[in-house]
Structure formats: C-alpha cells, structure tokens
C-alpha cells in the first residue's frame, strides 16, 4: 500500500495553487509542482531552500496584515519579477513540531486588469466633471485677460508694462492649456474654416516663455496656409501638448523644432515636433500613447494620448520616432477633408 504521505504529495501536486511547507527556521521542507512552476525553478525542487531566498523573509510573511491583502513582489529563478498573492497559516505536524503552510499564486495579470480598471475609472471621472470645470474657469480667465490687455494699452511705465506682459503671457498659456484639456473627445474637423497657421504661431508665442525658463531653444517653421476646416482650439491643443512634452524632455541648450504646413498637394495637414532631448526607452515608447501613463512626477498622461485620439478620429495618424539620448520626433497628420463616416443600418 502506498504511504499516506506519498498520496498527499501526489494530490498536492495536482492543486492549481502553489503550496510550500516551511519549518520555524525558514527552510522549505516541501513544495508542490505548482510552487516550483510559479517561482520558475523548473525541474529543480525547492525542498531544502530558504524561503527568504525564493519568496521573502519568514518574519515579514507572518507579520503582513491579512486585512491589507497579502501580496508581494517576488523575483523568479529566471530574474523576472512577478506579483504574488499569498496566505500563510501556522500549525503542527504529527510529532507536534510547528510548521507554516504557505499558499500563493501569480496575480501579475490580475494586477494589470485592476490597473486598467482604475485607469478607466479616472477617465470616466474626468469626462463627467470636465465640462462644468472648464466653464467655471474659462469665464473668469477671459475677464482677467481683457482687463490685463486694457492695462497694457494704458500703462506707460516700462517696468510695470513688462510685468503686465509677463502676467498676460501666463494667462494666455493657462487658457491654451484649458483649451487642450477641453479638446478631449472633440473632432478636429469643423464646418467652418479658420486660419490654422495663425493658431499654430500664436501657440508657439505663448509657449516660448515656457521654453526660455528651461533654457530650451524653441524654433518654429509655420507655412502660410489657406483657411482650413479645422477647429482652432483642437489644433492649439495638439500644438500645446506635443510642444510641452518636447520641452520637458529637453535639458538646457537643447532644441525643439516645430514645423506645420500642408503636404500631399494640400490634402493633408502635417505638424512635426522634434526635439534633441533624452528620447524614450523601449518600454516608455510602447506605452507613451496610453491615457494617464506618464513617467514625469507631475505629468498627467493626457498629452500624447489626446493627440493620438484626435488623429485617429480624423482618419489621420500620429507617427512617433524616438532614440534614447538623441531625441524624439512626432508627426501629427490629418486629412484636410473629413472622411466619410459609414453608418450602420
């Protein structure tokens, strides 16, 4: 007859949950097949290894409060880091010797789902509060702008005039930023035509002060264009977000170059923002157009995602090229004529 211990071991190897038995000294005395698989040890058994070397210090595992949801980052044998959820219970064997039963599973993919859910909840919250917030802010900002512009016309003292001009520049930058946030979900195409070349130049004038504060050289090359069926606020939002991102990626004496004009015999509007900054790593490049993803401590993670959304909705594209330590070039292209939208029957 097969010993009971062998039967229990065979049953444990069939469990979908990883199981380890740990003695009071922190040594693993038994590990089922799933534990070996989760921790990446392949055919090598975990028996006899210290739990601190493959999972975490025993005293920390026992001290983690259950109410906080027991989980930790674990480095597998192949050096890949995973998120593991676990539970640990203390009991005794047949001889009355204490032992700990550690059960765990890889929840890395679950964590990704939770993070995506949180990202979508943020997006829903922004969408529901944004219209009211923008309305409450833009009206007083317009009144302040008008007042400062009138003061600039009346004041003759050079020092005070320079200060008012600085205030006016900041107010215009704030207004441009609000237009950028308000462009979320809006179409770039418009039934009315506007001077988009003027919109781009005006945005660059406002952003010039931002570049100067970082000792970044901002250069603009905006071609004269006919009136285009675009929404100026949305175009301004694209210029703002791409240019600010470029400035933030630059160190002192780096350069940001902005070029705008018509290509493809006037059928496509093209905006290129290129910088000589730090560039993106491969991981950042792969995620740079995700909403709310940002590597900057104070970043919103909205800029590139917004520009990508606007281009895609207009039948255009956002082309990104980046080399670490050499810089980034982003090209925003949209057709001048709005594409035909096929409605479902």
More confident position, 51 or 131: 51
> Where residue 290 falls among pLDDT bands split at 50, 70, 90?
confident
Quick one: which of 39, 41, 86 has its CA closest to 61? 86
Mean pLDDT of 2-20: 63
Q: Give percent of the chain with pLDDT exceeding 90.
A: 28
Average pLDDT over residues 236-259: 92
Residue with tokens 């002192």: 252
Last residue of a domain, which of 106, 121, 140? Answer: 106
Last-in-domain residue among 71, 106, 141: 106
Number of domains in the chain: 2
Q: Are residues 197 and 252 in the same domain?
A: yes
Contact call for residues 105 and 114 (beta carbons, < 8 A): no
Distance CA 190, CA 263 (A): 20
State which residues form the domain around 82.
4-106
Tell me the whole-structure pTM to 2 decimals: 0.54
With CA atoms as reference, report the closest residue to 11 among 2, 140, 92, 164: 2
Same domain for 133 and 10: no
Percent of the chain with pLDDT over 70: 79
Q: State pLDDT tens for residues 161-219.
A: 888 777 877 777 777 666 655 555 578 999 999 999 999 998 898 888 889 888 999 99
CATH number for 155: 3.30.565.10
Better-scored residue on pLDDT, 340 or 259: 259
Name the domain boundary from 106, 121, 142.
106
Specify the pLDDT at position 69: 62
User: What pLDDT is recorded for position 322?
Assistant: 92
Residues 227 and 276 in one domain: yes
pLDDT score of 4: 41
Burial grade of 52 (CB within 10 A; 0-12, 13-18, 19 or more): middle
140 shares a domain with 96:
no
330 within some domain: yes
Cβ-based neighbour number of residue 116 at 10 Å: 11
Tokens, residue 29: 């005395």
Same domain, yes or no: 86 and 119: no
């Amino acid at each position: 007859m097969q010993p009971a211990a062998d039967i229990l071991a065979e049953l444990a190897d069939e469990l979908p949950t990883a199981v380890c038995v740990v003695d009071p000294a922190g040594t693993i005395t038994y590990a089922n097949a799933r534990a070996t698989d989760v921790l990446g040890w392949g055919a090598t058994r975990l028996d006899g290894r210290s739990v601190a070397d493959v999972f975490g210090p025993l005293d920390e595992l026992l001290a983690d409060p259950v109410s906080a949801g027991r989980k930790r980052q674990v480095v597998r044998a192949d050096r890949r880091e995973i998120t593991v959820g676990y539970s640990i219970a203390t009991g005794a064997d047949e001889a009355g010797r204490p032992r700990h039963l550690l059960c765990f599973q890889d929840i890395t993919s679950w964590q990704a789902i939770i993070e995506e859910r949180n990202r979508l909840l943020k997006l829903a919250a922004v969408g529901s509060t944004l219209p009211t917030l923008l309305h409450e802010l833009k009206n007083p900002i317009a009144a302040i702008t008008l007042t400062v512009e009138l003061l600039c016309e009346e004041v003759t003292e050079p020092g005070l005039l320079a200060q008012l001009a600085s205030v006016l520049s900041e107010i215009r930058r704030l207004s441009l930023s609000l237009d950028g946030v308000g462009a979320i979900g809006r179409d770039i195409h418009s039934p009315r035509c506007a001077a988009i070349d003027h919109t781009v130049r005006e945005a660059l004038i406002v952003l010039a002060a931002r570049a100067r504060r970082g000792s970044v050289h901002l250069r603009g090359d905006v071609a004269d264009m006919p009136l285009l069926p675009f929404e100026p606020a949305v175009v301004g939002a694209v210029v703002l977000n791409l240019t600010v991102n470029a400035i933030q990626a630059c160190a002192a004496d780096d350069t940001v170059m902005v070029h705008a004009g018509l290509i493809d015999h006037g059928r496509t509007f093209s905006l290129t923002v290129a910088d000589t900054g730090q560039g993106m790593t491969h991981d950042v490049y792969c995620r740079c157009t995700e909403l709310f993803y940002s590597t900057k401590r104070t970043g919103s993670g909205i800029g590139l995602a917004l520009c990508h959304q606007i281009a895609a909705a207009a039948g255009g594209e956002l082309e990104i090229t980046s080399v670490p330590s050499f810089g980034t070039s982003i090209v925003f292209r949209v057709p001048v004529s709005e594409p035909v939208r096929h409605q479902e029957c």
